[in-house]
Amino acid sequence: MNIDLTGKAALVTGSTAGIGLAIAASLAASGASVTINGRDADRVAEVAARLGVNGVAGDVATAEGARRITDALPDVDILVNNAGVFVAEPVFEISDDGWREVFEINVLSGIRLARHYAPRMAGRGRGRVIFISSEAGIQPPTSMVHYGMTKTAQLAVSRGMAQELAGTGVTVNSVLAGPTMSEGVLAMWDDIYPGLSREEQEARFVEEGRAAGSLLHRVIRPEEVANLVAYLASDLSSATTGRALGADGGLVPTVFP
């Protein structure tokens, strides 16, 4: 099986680090013309040069930032809505602004970009829209209910868009990523497991943290999520749309997502 994205233009939001960076690298390695995105223009330029891809700075959580991106890149064949944030906070202490901020970054950003790009894809008779969701959308974490809410919302948006685009040649899917060894997770480990090595931190997280119950008995690596995204971005996934596919290491204890 050969994933060939030659001639396809791809945009990956929130892609200067972590899962987004791994996705951008994977799509580029498969032949796509990739544009990475982030809020910090200097960081975007540095990562783009390192990967040998294009870069566009813009805060996708704002309408202005999304417009900056679509003005610079009017059309794509593959849109990966990866930008996201997670914050641990007791549910009854989350302010209205806290709920809005997480929703705008995690959900509305992808809606804005899909609203621009997906109809253009449909006009050409082909395209891929992929939301990077989470197993937290299926089983919301008590310490991050607002995060879980946004990941559930992504699943509804993805399915609804897939239904709207039925028969157009454009597919829309979500990826249920499990706890992944990203910079954000490593920073969290340093807070809750200070003084331990990375191997010890991972073992503790698998034993007692969010990854407890993983059938892999380890944390997901960004490249493993990226592999699934590359498949969904390719022609090989042409019969898959409106779905939520897991890269969660079997953490969700069900045969259905």
Mind telling me the catalytic residues? 147
Which pair of tokens denotes residue 44?
């975007």
Strand, helix or coil for residue 207: helix
Q: Say which residues have a Cβ less than 8 Å from residue 122's Cβ, sequence separation at least 6.
A: 165, 168, 169, 170
Q: Which DSSP letter does residue 163 get?
A: H
Nearest Cα neighbor of 16 from 29, 62, 40, 81 is 40
- 49 burial (CB, 10 Å; 0-12 / 13-18 / 19+) is exposed
Q: How far apart are CA 177 and CA 197, in angstroms?
A: 24
CA distance 146 to 15: 22
What does the alpha-carbon distance between residue 160 and residue 110 come to, in Å, rounded to a whole number? 13
Q: Token pair of 197, please? A: 């090595």
Helix ranges restricted to H, 165-214: 183-192, 198-208
Sign of CA dihedral 76, 122, 71, 161: negative
